Amino acid sequence: APSIHLSPAARSLFDEPLAIAVQGLGPRQQVTLRASLRDETGELFQATARYQAGSDGELDLSRCPALPGGSFSGLEPMGLLWALQPQRPFWRLVKRDVLSPFVLQLEVLEGHTEPPGRLLARAQHERAFLRDGVRRVPVRDGRIRATLFLPPGEDTFPGIIDIHGFGGGLFEYRASLLANHGFATLALAYYKYEDLPQKLTELHLEYFEEAVNYMLQHPQVKGPGVGLLGYSKGGEVSLAMAAFLKNITAVAALNSPVAVTSIPLCYKDKTIPSLTIYEQRIKVIDSNILDCSDIPTDAFQAPGNQSLIPIEKAEAQLLFIVGQDDHVVKSEYYATEICKLLQAQGKENFQILSYPGTGHCIEPPFFPLYPIGNHPVFHKQAVLGGELRAYSKAQVHAWPQIQVFFKKYLNDK
């Protein structure tokens, strides 16, 4: 009878590759493989791929290309994971509880028909977010609302603060995955969580400064500085922290504005106003989906513009990770222009990783593409951008680059 063989067999970390093979098929037998996963709300994500077994009845996804007609084609050993798509339109795969794994179902079905034929084999696999021994520590310290993830052992570790976008709340999945790789990582909420403000009228860097001080006072965080990993609005905040605060050693900014957007940013007696937004430039594409890529003022062209973050003041190393198909922030343009400014001032503390076919969402590896989602400012469905295969390649490439960047600059001192 056909059987599915997985390596690792029962459980792997979400950002690790999973080797998938099928044995016991007939010579050159045609089958459809289907992967299914339910998120914590019960929503179903699925991907299918069509394959033909070898003359020995074996099918190894690392050597056998998928045939046209499924969710993807070509030699894509992890395609069944990165091609997962929600049955409910515009739904995003998010992990709220990192202590429990996602459960992946894999099925082998007969033939290439639609729907596929009878079930030949089935397997189940857990995709986990915490390696054994990684500790999850809720942090309620002063005003800070966060979760600290500590790698196993009593050593000191390079410290990173992970700051998410303008949606609010506390997201732990990226911080937990980073802790598996040897970083003490603080997932930091800054609004819409517990007793933090439900709505933001301005952002105060003093709150984030408290988080930096908390990390540097922690006995297991290796000083003298910390790293910041910021996505979208979180990247904007991270760049501002590097410009105004001490002890920021390295910043990785994922699709981040380099000017203050949506709400003013304050630190001590200074306020940076937010960029002007022209709502009349919103394009509406099929069935009421917004394209907001052209609505902000160009921070580099507006004369006397006060909204640019003074990144030239930052002493930290800067890594800009940008999707060339980002429809929320002109992130590639912003990163390129700010680096030209830094270069003109004789600075060399920056690098850009730029990914074609990649939209606003850049996640750790194997998270499904999220090309259309809720716009954080207008609260309507909007184009975020991205194309399935290119996006999956970008995630797999960017994630180890982020770790190399932090290991280099947070361990050097």
Catalytic residue among 218, 360, 375, 392: 360
Give the contacts of 120 (CB within 8 A, at least 6 positions apart).
1, 2, 25, 31, 108, 109, 110
Q: Is 326 a known active-site residue?
A: yes
Catalytic residue among 112, 274, 326, 331: 326
Tell me if 72 sits within 8 A of 79, measured CB to CB: yes
Phi (first) and psi of residue 206, to 5 degrees? -60, -35
Strands 11-13 and 30-38 come out as unpaired
Tell me if 105 sits within 8 A of 121, measured CB to CB: no
Q: Nearest-CA neighbor of 41 among 96, 103, 80?
A: 96
Q: 């709150």: which residue's tokens?
A: 207
Strands of the sheet containing 44-52, edge to edge, are 11-13, 119-128, 102-110, 30-38, 44-52, 85-86
For residue 162, give both structure tokens: 């992970």
Q: 């004369």: which residue's tokens?
A: 303
For residues 107 and 110, what is the distance between their CA atoms, to the nearest angstrom?
10
Catalytic residue among 12, 176, 232, 256: 232
For residue 139, give both structure tokens: 């942090």
Strands 144-150 and 135-141 come out as antiparallel
Tell me if 37 sits within 8 A of 105, measured CB to CB: yes
For residue 384, give both structure tokens: 């975020």
Give the number of other Cβ atoms within 10 Å of residue 335's Cβ: 25
Q: Nearest-CA neighbor of 146 among 40, 79, 234, 48?
A: 234
Q: What is the helix (H) or strand (E) element at residue 237, kind and residue range?
A: helix 233-244
Q: Is 325 a known active-site residue?
A: no
Question: Mind telling me the catalytic residues?
Answer: 232, 326, 360
